[in-house]
Amino acid sequence: MTTQTVISALQDSIESNLFIPAKFLEQRTGCNERRLRKLVEEIRREDLATGYILISSDLGYKLSNDSTEIETWVRLYLSECFTRIKTVKAAKKFLKQEVSRQLQLELNF
């Protein structure tokens, strides 16, 4: 399965201006959810959908060149990224505290 297969499967989203559900794309391209996400990531990162941005929502995926729609997607995507960063910071804080506790236990032993 290639990025071009995914882009081809998304061509309908240009004409219809509708999101294509992930399950439908999985069936149409023959790849599983994880592989589809990896290909979508590559398409976005390498800017492979010439003239379009591959956006996503709870409804699925679509190719868009509408600035307002893309700006909305970027805000949502960044919000998700910031949430993940906050979650990672909390995990790192926990790990740091855990290391301190372990060191304290070793020194008191």
Shared domain for 84 and 34, answered yes or no, is: no
Bridge partners, 61 (sequence order): 20, 56
| pLDDT tens-place string over residues 13-51 | 898 999 999 999 999 999 999 999 999 999 999 999 999
Does the pLDDT of residue 65 top 70, yes or no? yes
- Cα–Cα distance measured from residue 85 to residue 51, given in angstroms and rounded to the nearest whole number: 30
Question: Could you give the C-alpha distances from 9 to 13, 22, 55, in angstroms and in order?
Answer: 9, 11, 14
Shared domain for 53 and 88, answered yes or no, is: no
CA proximity to 23, closest of 59, 76, 67: 59
Q: How many CB atoms lie within 10 A of CB 52?
A: 20
CA–chain centroid gap for 89, Å, is 20
Shared domain for 52 and 96, answered yes or no, is: no
Query: What mean pLDDT, rounded, does the chain reach?
Result: 92
CA proximity to 63, closest of 104, 4, 2, 109: 4
- Cα–Cα distance measured from residue 90 to residue 12, given in angstroms and rounded to the nearest whole number: 42
Shared domain for 45 and 97, answered yes or no, is: no
pTM over 0.85? The answer is no
Shared domain for 35 and 1, answered yes or no, is: yes
pLDDT value of position 102:
82
Shared domain for 57 and 79, answered yes or no, is: no
pLDDT value of position 109:
62
Percent of the chain having pLDDT more than 90? 78
Shared domain for 46 and 89, answered yes or no, is: no
pLDDT value of position 52:
96
Shared domain for 7 and 25, answered yes or no, is: yes
Quote the domain boundaries for residue 46: 1-65
pLDDT value of position 77:
94
**Domain boundary at 45, 65, 85, which?**
65
Q: How many domains does the chain have?
A: 2
- Cα–Cα distance measured from residue 99 to residue 49, given in angstroms and rounded to the nearest whole number: 46
